[in-house]
């Protein structure tokens, strides 16, 4: 068959591929510099899995002096949502994962010489390379309609391929003659373009995955779709063209793409491009009702959308550090040894990523976040908390900012010490955590408390406390009073014969704590009293007296 003629028939207006190859020359980067990309399909939110990939991409590029760019894969028209690209970009920015190049939301111009970075604006490029493949005899038009619409057939097959790696092999249309094709075109029949696969499924290819190491896959033998009948390429073809022209050196993507890798490799080969290196990342999972692992799902899990963490008030660095901890298990030890360094200093490596699918663990996230927040100064906590409250809890924002000095003093309780208290994991907790400071005591935790003793202690204590006391004197005074009232000041003695005492000093402290906070547990009571001040302490004591 005269493939050149066929190519001209199918794509009469497509530019020669050399036009694009000259327009997008090889990048001039220093040796070893990696070019990575995040290529989300704009769905209206940024999936936590995408943030996780973005982090890998960003760190790998930074470490080697390379480039991390953002490309929008918006060719799936059905899934298009207004502003979806913008949302994805802005989420990356909020997490300090901004790309160095590429699409930057709908407001800012794109940066970089390899654009357009939005796939739907690159249809002319795909046409050129589609035409090129026809010319080389590596692609053919398929007119199958079957009972479904042509697009549906292609979509179903593509989906099947992505999900299972299996679709029907060689398409009957690959045997059409030029005359038959001409006739169909003349009668206005639509066609999809397919790869004329030259693979042998009995042969295998060895590849080195940067995360999983050496892997062996069966060669592709399926005539996969390269261009749908509407002129839009599915992922397999679009990403092969884009990653080649944009000079991507590492494709970081979820393990769910691995089954279609052999088809992708065949596309690169047919195009005459060297494929990039691949890193198929483990997929963040949850346990379902039956105790089986399943992928994080936007429908079921709020934490699948990274905006959730912002709304809840997890500091973005804590979320990033949590993801980093999922990626490189030695991060935690590094963090303990380097409590004040930025996570950016951590010697991250793609090769250290484990191959098991990690589970999303809120307890771990909270631990990491508490640790992070505990190292912040009261000023920093105030700034971040106020910023959060301003958006998500306006009433609390007012309270917080009405008396800044007081708020900062509250946030400084148990903070300015060698072992700061690790209590706050997210900003939305603070209001409840310190409600007795900001809003007074609404109710007292009195279960198991002897009210008579409580009142007696408070009455006695009101006579002796002095807000000018330093911590030692303050405590000495409590002990002295405790002893006068008949409480044990020596724990050993108390343990030996508790019947001789009304209780011990710890009980006395609980009563004072209750009077000042309404709670049985709270941060350091001396600091709390200092922040409340003499007038307020007096008022609170009066309330229980």
Who's near 145: CB < 8 A, 6+ residues apart? 153
* Residue among 194 and 253 whose Cβ is closer to ligand GLU: 253
CA 145 vs. chain centroid, Å, equals: 41
Spatial distance between the Cα atoms of 65 and 59, rounded to a whole number of angstroms: 10
Residue 136 in tokens: 């080389």
Binding mask 179-218 for ligand GLU (x = CB under 6 A): ----------------------------------------
Spatial distance between the Cα atoms of 63 and 36, rounded to a whole number of angstroms: 12
Kindly state the smallest distance separating residue 212's Cβ from ligand GLU, in Å: 16
* Residue among 73 and 135 whose Cβ is closer to ligand GLU: 73
Residue with tokens 């794109």: 110
* Residue among 134 and 210 whose Cβ is closer to ligand GLU: 210
Considering only CA atoms, give the Rg of the chain: 32
Q: How far is CA 525 from CA 206, 463, 481, in A?
A: 65, 18, 16
Binding mask 29-68 for ligand GLU (x = CB under 6 A): ----------xxx---------------------------
Spatial distance between the Cα atoms of 470 and 475, rounded to a whole number of angstroms: 9
Spatial distance between the Cα atoms of 144 and 190, rounded to a whole number of angstroms: 9
Q: By CB under 6 A, is residue 251 in contact with ligand GLU? A: yes
Residue 178 in tokens: 């030029």
* Residue among 215 and 479 whose Cβ is closer to ligand GLU: 215
Q: By CB under 6 A, is residue 234 in contact with ligand GLU? A: no
Kindly state the smallest distance separating residue 38's Cβ from ligand GLU, in Å: 7
Kindly state the smallest distance separating residue 250's Cβ from ligand GLU, in Å: 11
Kindly state the smallest distance separating residue 103's Cβ from ligand GLU, in Å: 13
* Count of residues that interact with ligand GLU, criterion CB under 6 A: 7
* Residue among 279 and 385 whose Cβ is closer to ligand GLU: 279
Kindly state the smallest distance separating residue 28's Cβ from ligand GLU, in Å: 24
Helices (H), 187-306: 235-245, 261-271
Length of the chain: 545
Kindly state the smallest distance separating residue 40's Cβ from ligand GLU, in Å: 5
Q: By CB under 6 A, is residue 122 in contact with ligand GLU? A: no
Q: Hey, which bits of 357-401 come out as E strands? A: none
Kindly state the smallest distance separating residue 411's Cβ from ligand GLU, in Å: 40
Residue 491 exposure: Cα atoms within 13 Å on the Cβ side: 2
* Residue among 101 and 312 whose Cβ is closer to ligand GLU: 101
| Footprint on residues 68-87 left by ligand GLU (CB under 6 A) | 73
* Residue among 40 and 315 whose Cβ is closer to ligand GLU: 40
Kindly state the smallest distance separating residue 88's Cβ from ligand GLU, in Å: 10
Please report which helix (H) or strand (E) contains residue 278, including its range. Answer: strand 277-281
CA angle in degrees (0–180, nearest 5) for 327-88-52: 5
* Residue among 84 and 389 whose Cβ is closer to ligand GLU: 84
Spatial distance between the Cα atoms of 97 and 255, rounded to a whole number of angstroms: 22
Who's near 125: CB < 8 A, 6+ residues apart? 20, 241, 245
* Residue among 73 and 171 whose Cβ is closer to ligand GLU: 73
Residues at the contact surface with ligand GLU, assessed by CB under 6 A: 39-41, 73, 239, 251, 253
């Amino acid at each position: 068959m005269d493939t050149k003629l066929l190519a001209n028939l199918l794509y009469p207006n497509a530019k020669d591929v050399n036009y694009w190859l000259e327009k997008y020359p090889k990048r001039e980067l220093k040796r070893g510099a990696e070019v990575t990309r995040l290529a989300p399909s704009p769905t209206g939110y940024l999936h936590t899995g995408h943030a996780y990939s973005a982090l890998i991409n960003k760190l790998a590029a930074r470490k080697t002096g390379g480039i991390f760019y953002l490309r929008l894969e918006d060719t799936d028209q059905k899934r298009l949502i207004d502003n979806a690209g913008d949302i994805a970009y802005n989420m990356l920015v909020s997490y300090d994962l901004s790309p160095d190049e590429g699409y930057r939301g709908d407001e800012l111009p794109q940066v970089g010489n390899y654009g357009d970075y939005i796939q739907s604006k690159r249809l002319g490029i795909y046409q050129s390379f589609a035409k090129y493949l026809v010319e080389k005899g590596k692609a053919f038009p398929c007119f199958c309609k079957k009972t479904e619409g042509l697009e549906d057939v292609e979509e179903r097959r593509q989906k099947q391929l992505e999900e299972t790696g299996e679709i029907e092999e060689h398409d009957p249309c690959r045997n059409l003659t030029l005359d038959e094709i001409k006739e169909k075109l003349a009668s206005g029949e639509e066609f999809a373009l397919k790869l004329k696969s030259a693979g042998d499924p009995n042969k295998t290819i060895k590849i080195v995955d940067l995360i999983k190491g050496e892997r062996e896959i069966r060669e592709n033998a399926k005539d996969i779709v390269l261009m749908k009948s509407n002129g839009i390429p599915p992922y397999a073809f679009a990403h092969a063209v884009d990653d080649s022209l944009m000079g991507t050196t590492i494709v970081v993507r979820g393990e769910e793409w691995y089954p279609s890798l052999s088809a992708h490799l065949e596309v690169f080969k047919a195009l005459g491009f060297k494929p990039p290196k691949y890193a198929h990342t483990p997929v963040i999972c949850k346990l379902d009702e039956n105790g089986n692992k399943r992928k994080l799902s936007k429908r079921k899990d709020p934490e699948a959308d990274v905006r959730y963490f912002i709304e809840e008030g997890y500091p973005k660095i804590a979320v990033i550090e949590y993801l980093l901890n999922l990626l490189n298990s030695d991060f935690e030890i590094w963090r303990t040894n380097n409590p004040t360094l930025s996570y950016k200093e951590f010697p991250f490596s793609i090769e250290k990523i484990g191959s098991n699918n990690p589970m999303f663990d809120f307890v771990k996230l909270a631990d990491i976040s508490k640790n992070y927040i505990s190292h912040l100064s009261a000023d920093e906590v105030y700034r971040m908390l106020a910023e959060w409250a301003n958006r998500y809890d306006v009433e609390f924002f007012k309270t917080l900012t009405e008396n800044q000095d007081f708020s900062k003093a509250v946030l400084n309780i148990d903070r300015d010490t060698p072992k700061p208290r690790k209590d706050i994991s997210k900003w939305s907790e603070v209001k409840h955590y310190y409600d007795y400071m900001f809003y007074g005591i609404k109710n007292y935790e009195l279960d198991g408390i002897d009210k008579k003793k409580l009142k007696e202690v408070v009455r006695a204590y009101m006579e002796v406390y002095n807000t000018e006391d330093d911590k030692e004197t303050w405590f000495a005074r409590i002990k002295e009073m405790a002893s006068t009232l008949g409480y044990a000041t020596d724990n050993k003695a108390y343990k030996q014969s508790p019947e001789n005492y009304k209780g011990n000093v710890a009980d006395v402290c609980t009563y004072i704590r209750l009077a000042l906070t309404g709670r049985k547990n709270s941060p350091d009571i001396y600091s709390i009293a200092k922040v409340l001040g003499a007038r307020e302490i007096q008022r609170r004591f009066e309330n229980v007296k």
